[in-house]
Structure 1
């Protein structure tokens, strides 16, 4: 009572023969999706010092190649990139940072824990301004990332 289709199987070769071709299209699709995921998440993994960033609804800015990251943890410890700085060492380390190819100081991204005293953040911003770093971006948590600011 079943439909047999004339006893022949549609497709290539004889019935029951294994396929000799591998379809790589799904593999390529999966690899492209993984590549896109890694490209999107790689910039987010840059921050090595863990801090609890405040939330903001500011629009995200593009990341520049010539930038310096300063992080302030809850206990007030200041990090230049991933190096912890002793109290009073920030000014010397900022002076040692070379200017960019255009002769300007690099962009500074400031990551400060949301539980920090506002005065502590302003102390660091004052040191940045005194060292000639006037382009300071404040990094936030959700909502997109970096909000433009000025150290003046």
Structure 2
């Protein structure tokens, strides 16, 4: 006696000819996140040889505030042509923050020693950003022989 149920062997499923794109979308989102995270790190490995340039000097109405970084990474703050005060990174943040609160449009320039380590200039730029400076310029000397 055979059962009334159809046998599993005789049951056939119709094949679908559609592509399931959900796994592909998941892979693309993961790749997008990976590229978004790694893209800012790519620029960190660029070799740079500074600071000579054939650029025109900036002409401003006010005298800019200059942050100097010597070859040993020491900071000096120059508020006018004649004063050059040694400062610590904490003092730099406080003094530049006070200057920016007084005059938000003040020009701030960073002068780094060519034979010094880039870490000192980077630290100065970070401290200036934390002090609230929105625009910072890098100083260079004119190319010799031009």
| TM-score category (smaller protein) | 0.5 to 0.7
Q: How many positions carry a matched residue from both structures?
A: 89
SS in structure 2 of the partner of residue 70 of structure 1? strand
Counterpart position of 2:68: 71
Greater per-residue helix proportion: 2
SS in structure 1 of the partner of residue 137 of structure 2? strand
Q: 2:92 aligns with which of 90, 93, 97?
A: 90
- Whole-angstrom CA distance in 2 between matches of 1:76 and 1:67: 21
Which of structure 1's runs of 4+ aligned residues deviate more than 6 A?
none
- Whole-angstrom CA distance in 2 between matches of 1:56 and 1:91: 28
TM-score, with structure 2 as normaliser: 0.53
Paired residues of 2:72 and 2:117 also in contact (CA < 8 A): no
Once the two structures are superposed, residues 26-85 of structure 1 have per-residue CA deviations (whole angstroms, 9 ceiling, x without a partner) of: xxxxxxxxxxxxxxxxxxxxxxxxxxx821122222134152111111111101111001
RMSD value, Cα: 2.2
Unaligned runs of 5+ in 2: 1-49, 79-83
Alignment partner of 1:59 is 2:59: no
Paired residues of 1:94 and 1:131 also in contact (CA < 8 A): yes
SS in structure 1 of the partner of residue 114 of structure 2? coil
Unaligned runs of 5+ in 1: 1-52, 145-152
Once the two structures are superposed, residues 91-127 of structure 1 have per-residue CA deviations (whole angstroms, 9 ceiling, x without a partner) of: 1222222422xxx241101111011222221111011
